[in-house]
A and B are shown apart, each in its own frame.
Chain A
Amino acid sequence: MGKSSRRRLLAPIALLGVAALALVGCTESGPGTSSSVKGQTVKISGGITGSEADALNTTFDKFTKDTGIKVVYTGDKSFEGNIVTKVNGGSAPDIAIVPQPGLLKTLVGTGQVVKPDKTVTDNVSKYWSKAWKPYGTIDGTFYAAPMLANVKGYIWYSPAKFKEWGVTVPKTWDELLALTKTIQAKTGSAPWCAGFSSGDASGWPGTDWIEDLVLRQSGPDVYDQWVAGKVKFTDQPIKDAFDALGSILLNPSYVNAGFGDVKSINSTAFADVAAKVADGTCPMTHQASFLSSNFLTVQTKDGKVPTVAPDGDVYAFILPGTTAGASSVEAGGEFVAAFSDSAAVQKVQEFMSTPEFADARVKLGGVISANNGADPTLASSQFLTDAMKTLQDPKTVARFDASDLMPATVGSGSFWKGMVNWIDGTPTDQVLSAIQAGYQN
């Protein structure tokens, strides 16, 4: 090998070495730790995406102006899985917005979630009803304050059509069944529509139905025991809920308005039912308060954007209990967990637990908060104001979404799959024991 060729060989190696040095050099330009929080950036990640993510970023505008702390929120649709990988790999965000208490438990288990300071703890005791704090508490230690909320268990309907048929909003479950029968008789077609399809999470709209019915039929105590695993899926209260739901969703003459037969429930995307409710093909559907945002992008029969109002094109009532006036609702929501104890992160966490944050976000539309200090009249529609008042009402018995509280193998595993199989025609008993078997995984 000649001298020149050796030099030729050395040149690329030297270049590689320089490049490697440059790469390492880049890495040391991170921001230094300064005592002042001004100018610092706090990174938040969560599963909220789309226009709601834009609104969340906007919510911090005034806070940034006041404190000088920049807040950047990044949404990720696969957040639930990716955050665990990121935290385990030592690359956690400053703050995570966790949608499920079960996931919060997993994250706390990594030992990297930082306890919030006293102001946050006090804010949660002061502004949220007693039911909420335990959901952010893992093994007796409080870790995460609730952020926003949504109310599950709404029945969406068309007030105009109800008026046309001369029917009113039912006050009990039996009245609801009677109403179903009346509508079926008057229109000759199915009174209900439902959609369980949601990609990997298909089946979850069905779990909400079951949870609502368990909470209303058997009460909050049985519900809590069910969440804790003490009441089994194969026990009578849960079976009753499935039977009650079956009287609607498994009845071929009651479903699936606008889509097809009973089995079409599984092939219908959960968000697609909004369009059918809006154009009048589907008289009633069961979905959480978030569906109000889906009505912004659909049309009525006349090609207009439907008005969500008690006398408008669409509105919703809370799924009635077995007796009139019973007010128990199922709620969902997110929790704010921090992975850093820097002053800036703590400031942001404090801000997110205040009524000011809730007000700022609620004002931007589409969401509600369970924060008692927040002003429900700021909500973007009459419907959301009502939903928020329901949550803030001290008389309301609120319980968190059960499937979000159960272990992942059941809550986002066998329970979801079970609902899909149940619609497909698997007998109830078989479905229930299959869901219960998820606890063994």
Chain B
Amino acid sequence: MQVGLLYSRIRKDEKLLLSELRDRDHEVEKIDVRKQTFDISGAPDSFADLDIVIDRCLATSRSLYATKFFEAYDIPIINSNETADICADKVKNSLALEAAGVPTPETTVAFTKDSALEAIEKFGYPCVLKPVVGSWGRLMAKIDSRDAAEAILEHKATLGHYEHKVFYVQEFVEKPGRDIRVLAIDGEPVAAMARSSDHWLTNAAKGAETDVFELDEEAKALVEDASDAVGGGLLGVDLMETGDSYTVHEVNHTVEFKALDSAVETDVAGTVVDWIERKAVAASDAELEVTV
């Protein structure tokens, strides 16, 4: 099959996918999102033979528009624009999880400094302030006092992009020094790892140590529900242990898996490509049915 890989940077994650796809003799068309243009009237000729496209854009804004275009061109895209749209925004992500009955940290959104401060005081200290768009633990603030809250809100309101004036305030979850990253394909876990750190942020990108994590039945069910809540696909579901259960704080749509690949014995790229092949075949069969 011919697979498009939409990218901004080729990281180890993309290299793992490229290597696996080429080893299976699939033809790979690398599409640099910085160079590609998208016409509303139709797909460029270079897309004509693509059976499926994998969105690996680093930039959320580009990912959201590009997935929209591929869907307009009737080219199957992983992940769907719906999934990207929900996962890219923490507010939509939290709303989707809450609506699906998936346990997720208590969250309040405010649009002014005063109402955000009110929300923060209601949560008590510590609580957490997150940007609505962003990753890798960047610009996350654990707020320990009213003084800190006032300073951070002032900075965000004065210096930030307009999205920083959407204040996403969340309860601080006392996790046991780690959280859990699950790579899932349409709700089925491929592998999971615990990310441990002395810091309150336990992102692998922040240097957390990673180790294989065995999911119990409850966690597996939550991963499936969380995946369904955001529209399914190739996802990174993040959970925290709360003592007797879990809470799902986020679902990521252009999931990185190099840290997971190193931490577990599962052939992560191989399993993902197995699934991509199945998706491409299913999309092709569906198209044939429509044609007939």
A, B bound: no
Interface residues in chain B, defined as those with a beta carbon under 8 Å from any beta carbon in chain A:
none
